[in-house]
């Protein structure tokens, strides 16, 4: 996936382009830095290989070896809504990068 590749190669500007607008805004607001520096500071886990994917209309969840990503489909393609997500039992996933 392009988002994971961007993180792995240190292309944080591209990773920011691949974030959903509300997620990008929230990250910048929370970290008080521009998006590329903010996402680099998150030290997100390496995603690794795809373990599973589920789509629900315009929403999707990608379970990777080392991370879980939530995506939404926009007019210009799929964007990452949340990353660095871990299951919390019966509760919703806890994500280090997410929109408001």
Q: What is the pLDDT of residues 66-80, one digit of tens each?
A: 999 999 999 999 999
Q: What is the mean pLDDT of residues 47-72?
A: 94
Per the CB < 8 A criterion, the answer to whether 84 and 96 are in contact is yes
**pTM: predicted TM-score of the whole model, two decimal places:** 0.92
Backbone angles phi, psi at 11, to 5 degrees: -90, 75
The burial class, CB within 10 Å (0-12 / 13-18 / 19+), for 92 is exposed
The burial class, CB within 10 Å (0-12 / 13-18 / 19+), for 17 is middle
pLDDT of 92 over the 80 cut = yes
Give the pLDDT score at 98: 95
Token pair 């949340």 in the structure block, residue? 82
Who wins on pLDDT, 100 or 19? 19
Q: Which of 62, 65, 100 is nearest to 83 (CA)?
A: 62
pLDDT of 51 over the 80 cut = yes
Per the CB < 8 A criterion, the answer to whether 3 and 18 are in contact is yes
């Amino acid at each position: 996936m392009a988002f994971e590749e961007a993180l792995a190669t240190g292309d944080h500007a591209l990773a920011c382009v691949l974030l959903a607008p509300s997620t990008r805004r929230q990250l910048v607001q929370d970290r008080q830095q521009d998006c590329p520096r903010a996402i680099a500071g998150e030290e997100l886990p390496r995603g690794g290989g795809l373990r599973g994917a589920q789509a629900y209309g315009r929403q999707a969840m990608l379970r990777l070896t080392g991370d879980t990503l939530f995506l939404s489909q926009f007019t210009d393609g799929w964007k990452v809504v949340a990353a660095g997500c871990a299951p919390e039992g019966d509760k919703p996933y806890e994500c280090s990068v997410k929109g408001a």
